[in-house]
Amino acid sequence: MVSVTTYRARWIVPVDSRPIENGCLTVANGKIISVGDSRSPSAIDLGNVAIIPGLVNCHTHLEFSHLSSPLSPLLPFTSWIKAVIGYRQQHPDEVSSAIRSGLQESLRSGVTLLGDIATTGWTWSDYTAAAQQPRTVVFQELLGLTGPRVASQVALAQQPVESSEVPTGLCYGLSPHAPYSVHPDLFHTAVQQANARALPVAVHLGETAAECELLRHGTGEFREFLMSLGLWQADIFGDRSCREWIDALTELPRSLVIHGNYLTTDELALMAAYPQITLVYCPRTHAAFEHPPHPWRDLVELGGSVALGTDSRASNPDLSLWREMQFMAQTYSDVPHHTLMKLGTINGARALGCGHHAGTLTAGKRADLAVISLSPSGCENPTYQLLNAGHEVVGTMLEGNWAWTHDDFQAGRQLS
């Protein structure tokens, strides 16, 4: 027999349509079957909460999820990169447990869909260890600037991954890391593989002014950094820009440009012409590295696609996409919360290839959702107040089942 459950809430926020006050959402067989204001006598009343679509974190590195605080120093950037490399070398056996921990933390922040960058030491089972996990696109990271390393990473990019070995709910992609860490031959192999195998791609691009200087002139902080590691390649830097990477991404069915803090207007315009390329803004990480204002609004105005990520605990205090959106609401106080909600839900779902199944509260989509407790004084208009301080994630549902609920929220309610 099909189990049908209806939930009532102070607000239902479908994201693709207007918020519904005192609305109901009905779930059956793991899917949303109706959203509206119809009153069902058997509805479970969740109280002074908002039901929203499950959040989508398009960019993180779960391997760092055991960190209790960001690595330091954050600046100069190459010192932070050195700290990241050092941490990886010191904790090679903690990758699996960190991924599992990060997935559970993500659930507690309302995240039901993730894009994760995986380096070494990971297995598919890390992403399926618990009964309830966010769906994840696992991007295999590719890093290599010099001969033997480039050859081994080209082989990794070319390694077939049969669909039969990818567990349900997961997806495989490639992540040539960044222009300062990836030889052009390796990057082009990754793009060619992604094109031939219809894989999503994620790249870090235009993250620092130093990266842009390295590409353009072959000078600056990154030159010194690469020389200190014995990785300097004089023939591959200079007379280049982020644009050549974006040009290559235009060939692909789906790709994510991570950060893009220093992309030029021309580069943003090129991305806007290819909406299958999504710019992923990581607000709190961007702020921690003290970059100038992020160009995400310019890309939106040009008609391009913008989604959100937390980046990892190596640069962020937690993995809460809800906190990222609340941070944005404070930083961009003139932007309606409704607009920010799109960035953290449907835009991210589309970027990860799940727009047909997730990202909005729409009949026929998976019942992946988050529940937000509202302040006792009320939330009169979610379009402008949903992300206010004090509003917290208290429950996360995956395909109609509660994957996590806060103790206070569960008390007194028949959530099972």
Among 1, 2, 9, smallest CA distance to 397 is for: 9
Give the residue with the Cβ less far from Zn ion, 118 or 329: 118
Q: Report, in Å, the least distance between residue 67 CB and Zn ion.
A: 14
Q: Report, in Å, the least distance between residue 373 CB and Zn ion.
A: 30
Give the residue with the Cβ less far from Zn ion, 126 or 311: 311
Give the residue with the Cβ less far from Zn ion, 218 or 260: 260
Residue 70 near residue 318, CB atoms below 8 Å: no
Q: Report, in Å, the least distance between residue 315 CB and Zn ion.
A: 8
Q: Report, in Å, the least distance between residue 81 CB and Zn ion.
A: 11
Give the residue with the Cβ less far from Zn ion, 20 or 58: 58
Q: How many CA atoms lie within 13 A of 265 on its CB side?
A: 1
Q: Report, in Å, the least distance between residue 193 CB and Zn ion.
A: 21
Q: How many CA atoms lie within 13 A of 103 on its CB side?
A: 26
- Residue 231 gets the label, from left (phi > 0), alpha (psi -120 to 50) or beta, of alpha
Write out the residues near Zn ion by the rule CB under 5 A.
311
Q: Report, in Å, the least distance between residue 5 CB and Zn ion.
A: 38
* Locus of tokens 């109609």: 400
Give the residue with the Cβ less far from Zn ion, 62 or 379: 62
Return d(Cα 286, Cα 300) in angstroms, integer. 18
Tokens matching residue 29 = 């067989």
Collapsed DSSP state (helix, strand, coil) of residue 123: coil
Give the residue with the Cβ less far from Zn ion, 84 or 335: 84
Return d(Cα 190, Cα 159) in angstroms, integer. 11
Q: Report, in Å, the least distance between residue 208 CB and Zn ion.
A: 12
Give the residue with the Cβ less far from Zn ion, 46 or 282: 282
Q: Report, in Å, the least distance between residue 258 CB and Zn ion.
A: 6
DSSP state of 76: S
Sign of the Cα pseudo-torsion (3, 370, 104, 390, in order): negative
Tokens matching residue 271 = 């991305």
Residue 258's Cα: distance from chain center in Å? 9
Give the residue with the Cβ less far from Zn ion, 117 or 341: 117
Give the residue with the Cβ less far from Zn ion, 311 or 324: 311
Q: Report, in Å, the least distance between residue 173 CB and Zn ion.
A: 14
Among 91, 59, 333, smallest CA distance to 207 is for: 59
Return d(Cα 233, Cα 176) in angstroms, integer. 17
Give the residue with the Cβ less far from Zn ion, 283 or 382: 283
Provide Rg for the chain, Cα atoms: 21
In angstroms, how far apart are the furthest CA atoms of the chain?
72
Sign of the Cα pseudo-torsion (53, 316, 134, 411, in order): negative
Give the residue with the Cβ less far from Zn ion, 65 or 396: 65
Residue nearest to Zn ion (CB): 311
How many other C-beta atoms can be found within 10 angstroms of the C-beta atom of residue 3? 9
Find the Cα–Cα–Cα–Cα dihedral 105, 394, 135, 276, rounded to 10°.
-100
Residue 260 near residue 279, CB atoms below 8 Å: yes
Q: Report, in Å, the least distance between residue 61 CB and Zn ion.
A: 6
Helix, strand, coil content of the chain in percent (nearest 5) = 35, 25, 40
